[in-house]
Structure 1
Amino acid sequence: MFYSFSVKKIQLAPRPFSWSPVRKSALALGILWPLTATSGVSSYPDPLPTDRDLSPVPALADVISSDMACTLAPPGSALTLYQAVERALCQSPKTREAWAAIKSQTAQVGISKSALMPHVNASVQWAKEHTYTEVPNSPDLSSGGGTHFRSDVLALEWVLFDFGARYEEMKSAQQLLVAAQQTHAATLQQVFLQTAADYYEAIAAQAAALSTREMEHAAKQSLDTASARVRGGVAAVSDQLQAQTAYAQANYARVKAEGMASTSLGTLALDMGLSPDGHFELAETQDGPLNDISFIKSLSTLLTDARQQHPVILASQAAVEAALARIKSVRANALPMLTLNGNISRNTQPVNPGPGMDGLSARSKGRYVGIVLSVPLFDGFASAYKIRAADADLEIQKDKLQEAEQQIAQEVWRSYQTFIVSTENLHNTETVLQSARQQYAAASERYRLGIANVLELISAQTSLSTALQQRVQAMAEWRVSRLELAASVGILGAWAIR
């Protein structure tokens, strides 16, 4: 159904009508500039303010605080965990990729919003036409020649009503933007956790290297004592040989531990986007104060919190909402649509008064406004298959949501149990270390006085070395398990390392 009205005016001119190149260029610029200027990113970066569709993400806001400036500690200064995480978040390609996905989806929101606005198109045509008409039986009626003319058209198209198809498409794009934001937040927490774990691993490796150096020094003292006793004739040569073997083993353990410390520092450097062979010091130590654990509640509460605020689950929920909106949009596209059309045109194409006569220069103008009702009758069953595909996509997104909920619940359960075990081991290793230190001190004194043999001394030395390693590992495991538990709930942020 089409209703329109038009006005057309033709004016004959005594000589061919033409525009100067300057006027032609000015007209073309005047028609096209208002439409093409909005495509310039520098002048109009966001003409439809799509940034308003960016909803606040608490987890994201807490991971990156306002004072993070993507700067590393000055050369020679000690690197804190906060600075390491800051540098990793700024330099990680994963976080940049997730942020690029947000920008891409923000543009998709803008595209969906543009469908609600009128579309205006302009066309400018310059033509040179050569025609010749021959009438064999009446040569006087034959005609021919060349003409130059120009045609300018400004067209308007505006969808007035489409049963909500455009609004549902915009809603789908906005929900996908929410999903992109939550995916970004999840990526930030993953990079955060990995960097913090590598930082604690580096601290543990340095502490382990320090303990092996201490044990190497203790083994050297035992060797010196055994050698002195052998020289004094109060101990067998076997004591010296056994002490020498223990010293060699301590030396081996020290070299291995120092290599592990260098490896862990290189891994941390790569996390921060630095060369692995760089040199920097860590500000925190193995014996630093324990972090806050007030966020740890009952298991049921943690599971509930994770379902409500973990970014992976929230992203899946947004994807489900987007799929629902997409179904409504696809169904609406199969319904009638009402469109407003308009057109303004003018051209200088000559008119032909009749056979055998040359064309006369003319200027014509026209305009019309109309309403078009489009009713889809048959599209080869394409709409039915589009609806079927949208329904299937909704099922996929629902299954992904259920999978995400199960995965997060498993992570919370595993992290919670790991934290409980690591907390118990932390207390146990402290007790074991104190006993091992006392045992080694007693064995050293007994051996010096000649009461104990070298085997007792070496056994106490080995027990102390094992206790030191266990203490270092238990402390690192406790700190990492604490962060893993916070990440599994979806609340890992800057607060966790301050």
Structure 2
Amino acid sequence: MRKQSPMASFALAALCLPNLASFAADLAPPRPDQPWIPATTASGQIVAGAPANAPTAQELNFVLPANDELGLLPEPLTLEAGKAYALADLIEIALSRHPTTRMAWNESRQAALAVAAAQSSFYPKINASLIGAGQASFKHSRVEGIGGSSETTASGSVAALSLEWLLFDFGARAAMLRVAEQGAVIANIAFMASHQQLIYGIVSAYYVHAAAQARVESATQSLQNAKIIQQAAEARRHNGIGTVMEVAQARQAYAQANLALVQANGALENAYLGLLSAMGISPLSKFKIASAAGRQLTPTLLPAVEQTLTAALSRRPDVLSAYAAQAASQAHIEAVQAEFKPKVFVVTSLAQSAGASSTTLIPSLGPLAPTLDLNGSRHSGQIFLGVTVPLYDAGARSTALAKAKIAAENTELHLSRTKDEAIRQVVVARNALQSHLAAYSAAEALVSATQTTYEAALAAYQHGVGSISEVTSAQTQLLVAKNTLADSYSATLTAAATLALATGALGKAPE
């Protein structure tokens, strides 16, 4: 039997390989108007593969299968029962549990590793290599009807130890190290900024919750006032002084007050969930939140303009980050300029070959090509000290230098723009705080006036002088005034936190 040629066998095997494009078509939905039925595991996890069954007319449902592993609810946070958690406590919990804090920390660690990678360029690189080789040949010949064949095999191995070390590069590596170090500074600044943003989010949500809690208290008091008015109307009716219309109006006012209390409780629940979301914990967590009442809102909360702007420009994260980016861009220019200068390097290798084999092996650096030829069984070693001088690269280095200078100019412009934007944000935040302080003072006066009006109207009605419309209107206006005061109190504290964030001073819970 005639032996088949190896090349023919290889060609036949290549023809038998599958066409993967036909299998890929099964991974997509069959038609634009039919759903995709994915392949799933026993738990419902979607895996790549052809669907088990094609959709039928009764199965035209574009709902994905449920993954049981993803349906597990997050564990609620377990806290001390009966304790009222203040704003500082909530911030402390969030800093240890919110995902953004760990993400920012990981980014800082990555930047630190980039510095370590830049430092490694100052040290030599040592490599060990072990190569095994085998060779086989088959020869068949036929002379005057007499055939013969022969087969030859050979094997060998090479072991080598090499060292590469860049000795001098006119400051290129040092400049890139400074770039990496400034990158670490920028990442660490971003780490602090992310925590400031997290604290601000919790502070804002906490004050929103405080306003919602105050609205519930006002609505509860308003419901009690409406009950007193209703009882007075019913008493007047019982004594033959009042009318059915008065009683009906009083009952209507009580129903409206009850509705306002229900709505206030719903808003409080939403504010509570918003606070949990800002903290990054499970919405199923239940704990008591301390009241935010008791802070004195005085004009001392409003710092001087010059002092505020100076503090902002000196410690805002975005300004500091832009300044570090400017320093990094200057270091990058120095690194590109060093590419125009020579480099001094050393390369050394030790090698051992054994067996009937032949190979070429040497580490290379720059333009140095491998040249060491190892045959048979032998030991060898050599060392090279060289200098590479860049002569011509069709303007690649000049282009890189021009780009680096443009990037440096952009960082300077970005720093200037960042400082201008910081000043604008501080001025806006300070003006907002000033307006909220004035609004809070006016709201205090409004509550005092409406409280007096309500008490006078109720007393007059109870003594048969005033009307039911006057007392119910005064009761409604009192609720509106108290809600306005609660909102002003929360908005003023939020504005103070916004100003602290704008100046880069919001590093903990406001005192």
| TM-score (normalised: structure 1) | 0.77
Letter in 1 for 2:240: G
Superposition deviation, residue 266 in structure 1: 0.7
Q: 2:135–2:153: 8 Å Cα contact kept in structure 1? A: yes
Three-state SS of the structure 2 residue aligned to 1:481 is: helix
What are the ranges of 5 or more consecutive residues in structure 2 without an aligned counterpart? 1-76, 141-149, 359-374
CA deviation vs aligned residue, 1:348-386 (integer Å, no higher than 9, x gap) = 24599xxxxxxxx96422222221111122223222222
1:153 to 2:167 alignment: no
In the TM superposition, what is the alpha-carbon distance from 1:80 to its structure 2 partner? 1.6
Deviation at 1:440, TM superposition (A): 1.4
Q: Indicate yes or no: 2:328 matched with 1:322.
A: yes
Corresponding position of 2:499: 485
1:81-114 deviation line (CA, Å, top 9, x unaligned):
1121122223333322222211111111111111
C-alpha distance in 1, partners of 2:235/2:500?
Answer: 56
More helix by share: 1
In structure 2, which of residues 278, 284, 306 is the aligned counterpart of residue 300 of structure 1?
306
- Match 1:345 to one of 331, 351, 357: 351
Matches within 5 A, 1:5-404: 73-130=79-136, 145-285=152-292, 287-290=293-296, 297-350=303-356, 363-404=377-418
**Paired position in structure 1 for 2:47:** none
Q: What amino acid is the match of 1:161? A: F
Deviates more, 1:125-134 or 1:192-201: 125-134
1:21-55 CA distances to partner (integer Å, 9 max, x unpaired)? Answer: xxxxxxxxxxxxxxxxxxxxxxxxxxxxxxxxxxx
Change (3 A) 1:329 1:295: farther
Distance change >3 Å, CA 243–CA 127, structure 1 → 2: same
Instruction: Name the amino acid aligned to 1:318.
Output: A
Partners of 1:386 and 1:295 in 2: CA distance: 51
Contact 1:72 1:87 in 2 (8 A): no
Paired residues in the alignment total 412
**SS in structure 2 at match of 1:82:** helix
Where do 5+ consecutive residues of structure 1 fail to align? Answer: 1-70, 135-142, 353-360
2:21 aligns with: none
Measured after TM superposition, the shift of residue 210 of structure 1 is 1.2
- The 2-side partners of 1:218 and 1:474 are apart by 23
Equivalent residue for 1:409?
Answer: 423
Distance in 2 of aligned mates of 1:322 and 1:155: 34
Equivalent AA in structure 2 for residue 210 of structure 1? E
Checking the alignment, whether the CA contact within 8 Å between 1:203 and 1:282 is kept in structure 2 is no
Provide the C-alpha distance between the structure 1 equivalents of 2:391 and 2:113, rounded to a whole number of angstroms: 33
Aligned-partner residue type, residue 364 of structure 1 = R
CA contact (8 A) 1:266 1:275 kept: no
Q: Is the 8 A contact 2:299 2:437 kept in 1?
A: no
What is the CA distance between 1:429 and its match in structure 2? 2.0
Letter in 1 for 2:304: S
279 and 424 in structure 1: CA distance in 2 versus 1, 3 angstrom threshold: same
**How far does residue 184 in structure 1 lie from its aligned partner after superposition?**
1.3
Identical positions, percent: 27
Higher relative contact order (CA 8 A, sep 6+): 1
- Residues 104-143 of structure 1, C-alpha deviations (whole Å, 9 max, x = no match): 1111111111111111111111223457999xxxxxxxx9
Structure 1 residue 296: Cα displacement:
5.1
Q: Which whole-Å CA distance do the structure 1 matches of 2:134 and 2:357 have between them?
A: 14
- How far apart, in 2, do the equivalents of 1:84 and 1:323 lie? 40
AA aligned to 1:399 is: L
| CA shift for structure 1 position 422 | 1.7
CA contact (8 A) 2:314 2:320 kept: yes
* 1:488 shift after superposition: 0.6
* TM-score after normalising by structure 2: 0.75
| Cα distance in 1 for residues equivalent to 2:78 and 2:413 | 42
Root mean square deviation, CA, Å: 2.7
